[in-house]
Amino acid sequence: MMILVDTNMVVLCHYTLRDGSAMGDLIESTEGGEPLGFIHGIGMMIPAFEAHLQGKTKGDAFAFPIKAADAYGDYNTEAIELIPWGAFKLEPGVRPEDIFVPGEQVPLQDPSGESFMGTVVETNEEGVLFDLNPPLAGVDLYFSGEIVDVRPATAEELAHGHVHGVGGHRH
Ligand SMILES: [Zn+2]
């Protein structure tokens, strides 16, 4: 019996992500490594990505574009923020210039404890200028790949909200 990609199914797939089109620059790929594993339909993946895989089965190939607006969003020029030096709590012995390297992603926390990532734009006397856009904001995506396996998620996987074993957590 063919098991189809649907909500609460574990999907293992190999994929290659390129910028904009099949001929675009390589952004990332699982080829040659472990496949990506995710539980379908629970918000782990970009909804447009899941929509394209819905109903496919083991062995199916896929190739499709997703516009930036339907992926990580359009680039927001307002999402550039200067965080003053006084706002950082650095571990003793950690030098700011080792962490705040332009282009590097740094985990940040707002005063309410919410975690997010920021990309360092530059540092100056006042603090660190961060780009708070997701790294792929404004980028049109092109995915291609193959479904490696589809199986129902276990009760434990659903409770944890992630895949166990190949393509997922080992704990
Ligand atoms: Zn787990």
How far apart are the CA of 162 and the centre of ligand 1, in A? 6
CATH class of 9-72+136-160: alpha beta
Percent of the chain having pLDDT more than 90?
85
Q: What is the 3-state secondary structure (H, E, C) of the chain?
A: CCCECCCCEEEEEEEEEEECCCCCCEEEECCCCCCEEEECCCCCCCHHHHHHHCCCECCCEEEEEECHHHCCCCCCCCCEEEEEHHHCCCCCCCCHHHHCCCCCEEEEECCCCCEEEEEEEEECCCEEEEECCCCCCCCCEEEEEEEEEEEECCHHHHHHCCCECCCCECC
pTM here? 0.84
Q: What is the pLDDT of residues 138-150, one digit of tens each?
A: 999 999 999 999 9
For ligand 1, the distance from its centroid to the CA atom of residue 170, given in whole angstroms, is 7
Average pLDDT over residues 113-138: 94
Start and end residues for every CATH 3.10.50.40 domain found in the chain: 9-72+136-160
